Structure 1
């Protein structure tokens, strides 16, 4: 993999060259300024599989370089890893908003850096497979389906969506939030309620495309908040909400369902079978816990799973084989209970929004 490493500290660039030479898996070019980096990757005939950018540099910093890379044809989905000192982590959100893929902390742990580069290399290899197949559409589809095959539960990377970051980077960012930000932040989850049916009816390429559409809808719907989110697998996106997010989560759910209402998947082959529309559910927020931060991730996920269960009860409280004549009263009571539970969730969200406001 060909990497462009950019840092205004020449000692760090020398160290990176030596480390990459020792690993022996990557070709590294270096630039000591943002301006030099832009000149290199814009040069005719040059191409890079991955970028490693220092965030803080004089004049043109790493975030500006990241924006320029994303605006350059051919680099929309190229991995961009940002490097930052612990004291500069406030810049990470801006970097992800600019299109960064991942980040590492300086001074480098080269074992961790190599792990991040291996992930970037897989993305680059998948991209090159597609390019090398040329115009043979069937071969491209076969290669992509093979390379992108995954289980429903797998939290795969989705590239090229603003503020969407890998789950490892997302966890690292949330778990190292300073105390002031931690106390005013929460997590909530967004899930495709019928994701198991959607997954069963699509190829890996189609499923990833749908997940990308959902991610882009979340980006658009939460633009006012500007916070990070991550795909967790099983059709669930986990979202960070900081200091009084704009709008209620109930409104967010309505907006996402409106935005994605045009996506229809057929459960049979060749456009036959039951038409499936995406059903988006937004769970109530889970406050970030100072002592047990990972517990907040589990709690937010649990909230959205419970809401999905209640909605399924409303759609079909007794299953397909039940006798509606004998179970009318029980069915009505079950629906009433499910509606009450959903209403309580919505009221809880509204109360939290008022309190945060």
Structure 2
């Protein structure tokens, strides 16, 4: 079902109308220090015209949250509080459906990685260090505000499309390069949170890690032929395989889109890296075979890139270097270069020559053609 010009005009009018009705940005600040509460409340209401409520304990905060008819748009949580700390409250918040996506910024004077890891694993969106730099505080909350606005716009678009009785499939599709959430993988961070996690480690100057990128080979072809739903299932299966393969590592990982995962392993010895493409493929294959009966789907793995003693800018550069490495490996394999990836790929796998690559592509076309059981309606 195509979208008519009339539908497009109606869609734009509804978006413009709802944009003019943007609600005030509501923030809840939770801290056991009265001076911090008043300072942050005054600053945000004066400088940004936000609607700010405060709570001096986790128990008070949760009571306020349950009493409010409309969920808060953003929550600032102090980590260290008596009785129930901020990380426990955060876990309770994330268990509420209406707060599953709410930006939650942790307030802390602690820079130990155990606190940083615990908070991000519990669902923190970002960190703000005490004592506050108010320029940075405003910047971080503005980022949260922009994120909320983007999500509201997406929700309005979905509602408008629904009202125009367009195909529901159109609403739920995503592009190949979009990051997507993975569900309940313990070490998984969403891409924005992963980026904030890297930045926080750099600010705290506690890097002693290395980055590895994992790619689903020929992911774009897979996406084009299988469609977004099957592609999402494959990416989720690969995520759980990564979770299983890294159980013995001190690490976190994220999906950045384009069929690529980033893994940050906390170790100064890259020689200890025992992540292998073959191991990942075996785990991935065990999960994915129930709906893709083909053994040519494979996983590529970059060499580890050290991230020791890096600034925030250099840390992001190291991440990009890792991503570029796995993309280059795929390009070399696609070109049929038999010498490609000798350091990154288990030689027992070999490298497919051009003729086998073409056979692989034909097999994917057969798997994901309109007649295939994978794409049948």
Residues 107-129 of structure 1: CA distance to partner in whole angstroms, max 9, x if unpaired?
Answer: 14212321233224423553576
| Structure 2 unpaired stretches of 5+ | 1-24, 350-377
Match of 1:258 in 2: 286
Instruction: Give the structure 1 partner of residue 56 of structure 2.
Output: 32
SS in structure 2 of the partner of residue 117 of structure 1: helix
Contact 1:249 1:282 in 2 (8 A): yes
User: Take 1:35 and 1:61, find their aligned partners in 2: how far apart are those partners?
Assistant: 10
CA distance 1:262–1:128, shift in 2 (3 Å): farther
Aligned to 2:357: none
Matched with 2:145 is 117
Judge conservation of contact 2:300–2:326 (CA < 8 Å) in 1. Answer: yes
Residue aligning to 2:44: 20
1:343 aligns with one of 343, 346, 350: 346
| Structure 1 alignment gaps of length 5 or more | 266-274, 318-333, 347-357
- Give RMSD over aligned pairs: 4.0
Distance 2:77 2:255 in 1: 24
For residues 177 and 226 of structure 1, the distance between their equivalents in structure 2, rounded to whole angstroms, comes to 18
Residue 91 of structure 1 and its aligned partner are, at CA, apart by 1.0
- Does 2:117 correspond to 1:93? yes
Distance 1:199 1:252, change over 3 A: closer
Match of 1:327 in 2: none
8 Å Cα contact 1:170-1:230 kept in structure 2: no
Q: Which residue of the partner structure matches residue 172 of structure 1?
A: 199
Tell me: CA distance 1:306–1:222, structure 2 relative to 1, closer, same or farther (3 Å).
Answer: same
Give runs of aligned pairs for residues 1-357 of structure 1, distance below 5 A: 1-22=25-46, 26-43=50-67, 45=69, 47-85=71-109, 87-88=111-112, 90-106=114-130, 107=132, 108=134, 109=136, 110-123=138-151, 125-127=153-155, 138=166, 141-145=169-173, 152-153=176-177, 156=179, 158=181, 162=186, 163-165=188-190, 166=192, 167-176=194-203, 178=205, 181-182=207-208, 185-201=209-225, 211-212=235-236, 214-243=238-267, 247-250=274-277, 251-262=279-290, 279-290=298-309, 293-313=315-335, 317=336, 335=338, 337-338=339-340, 342-343=345-346
TM-score, length-scaled by structure 1 = 0.69
Structure 2 Cα separation of the partners of residues 295 and 75 of structure 1:
32
Measured in 2, the distance between the counterparts of 1:221 and 1:131 equals: 40
Superimposed CA distance per residue, residues 76-120 of structure 1 (whole angstroms, 9 cap, x where no aligned partner): 333322223363554111111112233333314212321233224
Give the TM-score normalised by structure 2. 0.66
Q: Is the 8 A contact 2:127 2:200 kept in 1?
A: no
Quickly say closer, same or farther: Cα 1:210–1:12, change in 2 above 3 A.
farther
Please give the alpha-carbon distance, in whole angstroms, between the structure 1 residues aligned to 2:162 and 2:29: 30
Partner SS for 1:52: strand
